[in-house]
Homo-oligomer: A and B are copies of this chain.
Amino acid sequence: MTTKQLPLPELVKGLVDLGVPGVGLWREPVAEFGLAESAALVADAGLTVTSLCRGGFFTAVEPAERAAALADNRAAVDEAAALGTDTLVLVSGGLPAGSRDLPGARERIADALAELGPYAAERGVRLAIEPLHPMYAADRCVVSTLAQALDLAERFPAEQVGVVVDTYHLWWDDRVAEQIERAGQGGRIHCFQLADWVTPLPAGVLTGRGQIGDGAVDMRWFRDAVAAAGYRGPVEVEIFNDGLWARDGRQVLTETVDRYREHVLAPVA
């Protein structure tokens, strides 16, 4: 998504050229290029698919809507398996129109996980609940903190349900250190994503994530925290930013790798 202007073959070539060993994919560009074709393209290039984004949107009340959401999530699990990734990222869903019932919405997420978890595990796919920043609680995701995501995930086996640690969503939380430790101890950090927090936020607050190093997030702190919690998996960079999307995609890819080296990999100067 960081370089969504790049067609999949160009993205893959760009990553290979830069020595990046894996890629996190979104369902829409995969569907556009073709599922089997995408899987072959990435595998032939020697890249790992680190995660597929996204399932979720579990909070509907209407039975028909709920059934449709579950069917779509089963399809997402199948796609993840076909792509050879073990992780499906979940954006759990906001409040149904007109509802103010946060606890009810959260319970419906748990109900959906109970159905979807075994289905996913049978296909070698783990579900990863992504706590989204609280500014998305009404319209996207009623799971707003890592603690809350873990409260949900821990109702299920870790090989079925874990969490996403995304710096953009969690950086402000004074409990994030203890909760990363908790997630690591339970073997539940299924995905680790980076984006920086920059202000002012744009209207709609969806496409204003910052390039690594441009904002308020202490990237090395997060790197060290997940490492200390035992996480040894891939690090994804996931930036939604109108400015980045308007630029040359290869240039953005190169810049992102440079920023990663400078702000995440390199020790403090």
Contacts and interface: CB of A to CB of B under 8 A. Distances in A.
Given A144-B174, A203-B203, A135 B134 contact: yes
Contacts of A61: none
A202 interface: yes
A174 B201 contact: no
A50 interface: no
A173 interface: yes
Interface stretch (A1-9, A186-194, A211-219): A211-219
B201 A204 contact: yes
Contacts of A133: 134-135
Interface residues of A, number: 34
A139 B100 contact: no
Contact of A144 (B142, B173, B218, B221): B173
20 contacts: A95-B216, A99-B216, A100-B216, A101-B218, A102-B218, A133-B134, A133-B135, A134-B172, A135-B201, A138-B172, A138-B216, A144-B172, A144-B173, A145-B174, A200-B203, A200-B204, A200-B205, A201-B204, A202-B203, A205-B205
Interface of A: 95, 99-102, 106, 133-135, 137-139, 142, 144-145, 148, 151, 171-174, 197, 199-205, 215-218, 221
